Amino acid sequence: MPTVRLRDASEYPEPARRLFELSKQWFDYDFKEPPAMSRVMAWDPHFGGPHGRAMKRAMAPGEFSRGEKEMVAAAVSGVNACTY
């Protein structure tokens, strides 16, 4: 059970909902509701915005592919003992 009540997408202001659209494009998946982390980040766009941009910058294809980086991210999450 999350510590906070995660708002539905419709409860967020329009700029945040545009971010949710970008999130859907990033994951290339049509979620019923935006992922929990996207909704958490949208709670404070002044934090979530740059944090998300840093993540996208780090995950963009470069010397390593997006797929290779997703696996690195999974390994990092694993050693951080995070099930999310």
Partner 1 sequence: MTGDDRWYEAAFVVGITNALNVVADGLGGAPMPQVEPETAPAEVRTIFADIRAFYGTGGPAADVLGGEIPMPFGLIAHDPGYLADVWAAVKRAFSERRLTRRHKEALAFAVSLTTRSAFGTAFHLGELRRLGVGERGVMEVVGVAQMFSSYTKIADTLQLSSDMADIAPADASGVPDPGAG
Q: Which residues bind partner 1 (CB under 8 A)?
A: 1-4, 6, 27, 29, 31, 33, 35-37, 40, 51, 54-55, 57-59, 62-64, 68-69, 71-80, 82-84
Alpha-carbon distance 49 to 84, whole Å? 20
C-beta of 15 vs 60, nearer to partner 1: 60
* Least distance CB 59 / partner 1 (angstroms): 7
To partner 1, the closest distance from the beta carbon of 57 in angstroms equals: 7
Which alpha helices (H) appear in the chain, and where do they start and end?
A: 14-27, 36-42, 45-59, 66-79
Angle between helices 14-27 and 45-59 (to 10 degrees): 20
